[in-house]
Amino acid sequence: MALKSKVTVKFTALDSIKKYLRDKGDQETGEVVISEMKKAIASGLSPVRNFGRFEEYAAQKKGWGYPLSVKKQFPDKSLRPVNLKLSGDMLDSLDTKKTKGGVEVGVFAPDQAQKAKKHQAGDPGVNLPQRRFIPARKGEEFIVTITRAIRDSFAKAVDRALKRG
Amino acid sequence: MEQILESVAQAKSPVSGESWPALDKEYRKKKIADGFSGRPNLETSGDMLDSLTFKNTEDGIEIGIFGSEAWKADGHLKFSGAENNTPQRRFIPAEGQNFKSDIEREVERIISDYKAENVDAKRLQDIDTSADLYRYLKEVLGDRSVNELRLAVMRTPDLLEAIEDAGLLELL
């Protein structure tokens, strides 16, 4: 099952704008969210509000283990920032899915969704701390930078819709 | 804080007019050998950036590193004037300095969006012209450009809806 987050912009009036947003705006907003999520994650920051920076790798304390263990294969991988990136496949698979009420952002490809869930929830069995990167639970929301980008994207879509009449 | 962390991760100063020098050759070699990035991203243990936080003050908020990591931060920021052998890499503006314009603009937008969410819709009923509308928006959202005021309206569904309800959409 995919790991996903529903992005909803509440809007109750202005039919032509609503139609435009349904047709194009939601998709654009989803893409903006993914781009901003990647920026936050690349800097070691959880895109989920109140989760702060991702917890350090165990190898940082121990001096051995991941990611030091994969340095030969992935020379660019470093101890900091903790950025959920090794091959990059999981973050590359962040995607949007149009729904009736808006758009969902998440990791939908089954092989990558498994990986995503492990980061999202943590796995004490393999010493993997929780590094929450998708606001999937009730009450969770994106960090301010991302909610700002959603609002800006929404404003641009409204502007275009108004100009089209 | 989010914008500071994103800038720092890219080895870029979030402070207007500041840029960061590359790492010293020997230190860079050591940092890479220890498993860290060779870029000047202010990260080894990560404890200093983990401590970046904010405090509410009477005038607003204060962003900084206030606890046991403050001495490390000062080593990069050089606020205290204490000498050390690290080059200045400011990630928080000193007094008289500002954040880069894109960060400042976002802060201003956060404030005007907050105000936009609290506009009194009844006042819109007395407006007839575009000039009146923008005068009113300026009064409640602050002295911003027409483009910024228009964007503030469009970022705020409730205000946009109130403007439409008052029949003023074409004045925007």
Contacts of A50 in chain B (CB under 8 A): none
List helix spans (H) across chain A.
15-20, 26-42, 58-62, 89-92, 110-121, 144-164
pLDDT at residue A13, rounded to an integer: 45
pLDDT of residue A12: 45
**Joined tokens for residue B111:** 């404030």
- Which pLDDT score is estimated for A14? 65
> Model ipTM?
0.84
> Nearest Cα to B125, choosing from B77, B87, B168?
B168
For B35, the closest chain A residue by CA position comes to A78
A43:B6 CB<8 A: yes
Cβ–Cβ below 8 Å for B35 and A10 = no
Cβ(A28)–Cβ(A151) under 8 Å? no
State pLDDT tens for residues B102-131. 999 999 888 888 999 888 888 998 899 999
Residue A50: alpha-carbon gap to chain centroid? 15
A14 vs B: CB within 8 A: yes
C-alpha B67/C-alpha B63 separation (Å) is 12
Identity at B139, one-letter amino acid code: E
Q: How many CB pairs under 8 A join A and B?
A: 94
Please judge whether A79 and B36 are an interchain contact, meaning their C-beta atoms are less than 8 angstroms apart.
yes
Query: Do B2 and A79 make contact, defined as CB atoms within 8 angstroms?
Result: no
Unique residue bearing structure tokens 């051995």: A64
Tens digit of each residue's pLDDT, chain A (165 residues): 678 776 665 544 466 677 777 777 788 889 999 999 999 999 999 999 999 999 999 888 888 888 999 989 999 899 999 999 999 999 999 999 988 878 899 999 999 999 999 999 999 888 899 999 999 999 999 999 999 999 888 888 888 877 766
Q: Is the minimum CB–CB distance between A43 and chain B shorter than 8 Å?
A: yes
This prediction's pTM: 0.86
- pLDDT for B119 equals 87
Distance (Å) from the alpha carbon of A40 to chain B's nearest alpha carbon: 6
Rounded to an integer, the average pLDDT of B69-77 is 95
Q: Which two tokens stand for residue A40?
A: 């936050």
Handedness of CA A61, A63, A65, A68 (dihedral sign): positive
The answer to whether A69 and A122 are in contact (CB under 8 A) is no
Task: Return the amino acid letter for B169.
Answer: L
Whether residue B157 and residue A79 make contact (CB cut-off 8 A), yes or no, is no
User: Does residue B86 carry a pLDDT above 80?
Assistant: yes
Residues of A in contact with B35 (CB under 8 A): 59-60, 67-68, 71, 78-79
Contacts of A26 in chain B (CB under 8 A): none
B6 contacts A40? CB cut-off 8 A = yes
User: What's the confidence (pLDDT) of residue B118?
Assistant: 86
